[in-house]
Amino acid sequence: MSSSRAELRTLTRQRRRALSDAEQQQAATALVQQLLCWPELASCQHIALYLTNDGEISTQPLISALWAREKNLYLPLLHPLVPGYLLFQQFTPDTPLTLNQFGIGEPVLNCSQICPVQQLDLILTPLVAFDAQGHRLGMGGGFYDRTLSQLPSDRTTPVLMGLAHQCQQVEHVPVEAWDQPLRFIATPEQVWQFD
């Protein structure tokens, strides 16, 4: 019998939390190399990513590498007026940060720095579990699914890429109708492409 979404979340969250500090650092460094070798990065100028929590692969080295290449970065924040949706706000080394209700770092809201989601070239999403078909299981809030459902499904941008440790791969993620498909998943070992 295949595992439920809740069981898979528990399994992969435990696996990634069990990684040592050294393993986490190696993984984060290797992930940067995967992204820098990814041919489509050159055509992505406006890139959304997120601040790591709960054993997720650290995005900090990636953030530094992308700033060094003069990419414009954006972070999600919980929409203050429309529950369940995300906004994306410009992220520079000077951006004031705070913790949201889930204990995840996000920028302090500055309306003049919000970027409409359709103007992003690439959105790097967190995930809890994935499979070889590109199915994504998030933390269970559906925030990315809901926010991205506003975009036409036949669009070319923003491209969606999930980031994960290799240990977050499972045999099969049961998908639901509302789950937004990923075009790519990057782990420290490889970049997977799904069409």
Ligand X SMILES: Nc1ncnc2c1ncn2[C@@H]1O[C@H](COP(=O)(O)OP(=O)(O)O)[C@@H](O)[C@H]1O
Residues that bind Mg ion (CB under 5 A): 145, 179
**What is each CA distance from 177 to 6, 119, 142, 180, in whole angstroms?**
17, 25, 12, 8
Contact in structure between 60 and 52 (CB atoms under 8 Å): yes
The CB-nearest residue to ligand X is 142
- Give the phi and the psi of residue 132 in degrees, each rounded to 5: -70, -5
183 binds ligand X (CB under 6 A): no
> Is position 56 an interface residue for ligand X (rule: CB under 6 A)?
no
Q: Distances from the Cα of 29 to the Cαs of 34, 38, 63, 131, in angstroms? A: 9, 15, 11, 23
Is beta strand 105-107 parallel, antiparallel or unpaired with respect to 122-125?
A: unpaired
How do strand 191-193 and strand 184-186 relate by DSSP bridges? Answer: antiparallel
Q: Does the protein bind ligand X through residue 178 (CB under 6 A)?
A: yes
**Residue 5: CB minimum distance to Mg ion, A:** 9
146 binds, among Mg ion, ligand X, none (CB under 5 to 8 A by kind): ligand X
Least distance (Å) between residue 151 CB and ligand X: 11
Neighbours of 82 (CB within 10 A): 11
Which residue, chain included where needed, has tokens 């509302």? 178
Smallest gap from residue 183 Cβ to Mg ion (A) = 15
146 binds ligand X (CB under 6 A): yes
CB of 51 to ligand X, least distance (A): 17
Residue 139's binding partner out of ligand X, Mg ion, none, with CB under 5 to 8 Å set by partner kind: ligand X
List the x/- string, 105-144, binding to ligand X by CB under 6 A. Answer: --------------------------------xxxxxx--
10 three-class SS: helix
User: Shortest gap between Cβ of 176 and ligand X (angstroms)?
Assistant: 6
Pick one of 23, 30, 145, 166: the residue that binds ligand X (CB under 6 A). Answer: 145
With binding defined as CB under 6 A, does residue 13 bind ligand X?
no
* Sequence-separated (6 or more) residues with CB below 8 Å from residue 144: 86, 123, 125, 138, 180
Whose Cβ is closer to Mg ion: residue 56's or residue 179's? 179
Residues that bind ligand X (CB under 6 A): 137-142, 145-146, 149, 176, 178-179
